[in-house]
Amino acid sequence: MKLPRWLLGFSFLVYLFLHLPLIVLVVFSFNKSKYGVSWVGFTWDWYRRLAEREDILNGLRASMIVGVVATITSAVFGTLIALAVARHRFRGRTALEAFLYVPLVTPEIVVGISLLILFVLLGFPLGITTITIAHIAFCISFVVVVVLARLQGMDEHLEEAAMTLGADEITTFWKITVPLLWPGIISGSLLAFTMSFDDFVITSFVSGTGSSTLPIVVYGMVRKNIEPSINAISTIILVATSVLIYLADRLGRDRPLKA
C-alpha cells in the first residue's frame, strides 16, 4: 500500500521528538565545556569524575544489592504464581488474576506513601531493607505477566508425555517445565531488575535519610547543579537499561519447543 507523504514526514518528526533529547544528552556528556551547551571539544572527564564521587559509587552499590535481591525474590514468587494461575483450577482464580494486575496500574506515588505509612506504623526503620521489600512488591506483577505469557504459549502435552513415560511431578517440573519456561523467567527477571534499578518515586518514600539508591543520588544532582556529570551518569544508565531490555526482549521472544 502506498503511504501518503505527510504521514511519512509527520512520523519522522515524532521519531525525532522521541530520540533527539536522548541523543543530545549523550553527545554533551563528552563536551569539554562545563556550563555552556556549545560544543568545545571531546573529553572523558565527566565520566572520570563520576568514579571519584563517593555518593554515586555508594548509590550504585545500593542499587545493585536491592536490584539483585528484589529480582531473585520476585522472580521466584512471580513464577510460582504464574504456574498456579496457568496450570491449576482453584476458587477465586479470576479475582486473584484481577488483583495481580492492580499493582501495574497503581500510581507509584500511592504505592510509595502507603508503604511509608505501613513501615512507620510498624516502627520498621527505613533503609535498604524497606527499599528491597517495596521493590519486591512492585516487581512481582511484572514477572507474573511475562512468565504467564510464556506459559500460555507452552505445549502442555510435553508435561503429560513426561508423566506418561513414568516421570513423577517433581522430575517433570525440573526436567520439562523449568527448562521450557527459562526464557520467560529470565526475561521477567531482567524486566524486574530494570524496574528496580530505575525506580525513583517509590524508593524516595521508603529510603529514609541514610541509604540512597542511584536514582535518588541522580535526582539530587538534577535538582542542585547542572554540570555535565549528570549527562555522563545518565548515559551510563541509558546504555545499561537498553542492554538489559534488549536481552529481555531477545530471550522472551524465543519460541518454545513444539512436540
Partner 1 sequence: MAGVRQRVLGLMHRRAELRAWALLAPGTFWLLLFFLVPILIMFVYSLMPRGVYGGVEPGFTLEHYRRFFNPLYLQILNRTFVWSIAATLICLLMGYPVAYLIAQSGKWKNLLMFLVVLPFWTSFLVRTFAMIFLLRDTGFINTLLLQAGLIRQPIEMLYTPFAVMTGLVYGFLPFMVLPIYASLEKLDVSLLEAAEVLGARPAARFFRVTLPLSLPGVVAGCLLVFIPSLGSFLTSDLLGGAKQVMIGNLIQNQFSAARNWPFGSAASFIVMALVLAAVVVYLRVRDRSMAGPGLR
Stretch that binds partner 1, among 40-48, 50-58, 147-155, 217-225 (CB under 8 A): 217-225
Residue 78 contacts residue 89 (beta carbons within 8 Å): no
Selected binder of partner 1 within 61, 65, 167, 200 (CB under 8 A): 200
Residue burial 220-251, b: 16+ Cβ < 10 Å; e: rest? ebeeeeeebbbbbbbbbbeeebeebeeebeeb
Nearer Cβ to partner 1, position 114 or 157? Answer: 114
Q: Which is nearer to partner 1, 71 or 194 (CB)?
A: 194
Q: Which of residues 97-136 bind partner 1 (CB under 8 A)?
A: 99-100, 102-103, 105-111, 113-118, 120-121, 133-134, 136
Place of cell 506483577: 141
Give how far the C-alpha of residue 216 lies from the chain's centroid of Cα atoms, to the nearest Å. Answer: 16
Establish if 169 lies at the interface with partner 1 (CB under 8 A).
Answer: yes
Secondary structure (3-state) at 213: coil
Nearer to partner 1, 51 or 123 (CB): 123
Convert 131-148 to b/e letters by CB count within 10 Å (16 or more is b): bbbbbbbbbbbbbbbbbb
| Minimal distance, residue 244 CB to partner 1, in Å | 8
Among 76, 149, 163, 167, binds partner 1 (CB under 8 A): 76
Residue 83 or 180: the one with the smaller Cβ distance to partner 1 is 83
Start-end of H helices in 3-92: 5-27, 45-52, 54-87
Which of 51, 95, 165, 170 binds partner 1 (CB under 8 A)? It is 170
**Residue 31: beta bridge partners?**
42
Report in angstroms how near the CB of residue 98 gets to partner 1 at its nearest: 9
Residue 156 neighbours by CB under 8 Å, 6+ apart: 87
Residues numbered 7 to 26 that lie near partner 1 (CB under 8 A) are: 7-8, 10-11, 14-15, 17-19, 21-22, 24-25
Q: Is 225 in the site for partner 1 (CB under 8 A)?
A: no
When asked if residue 1 is in the footprint of partner 1 (CB under 8 A), the reply is yes
Per-residue contact track with partner 1, 228 to 247, x per CB under 8 A? --xx--x--xx--xx--x--
| Dihedral sign, Cα of residue 141, residue 143, residue 144, residue 149 | positive
State residue 3 phi and psi, 5-degree precision.
-100, 140
Binding residues for partner 1 restricted to 24-43, rule: CB under 8 A = 24-25, 28, 35-38
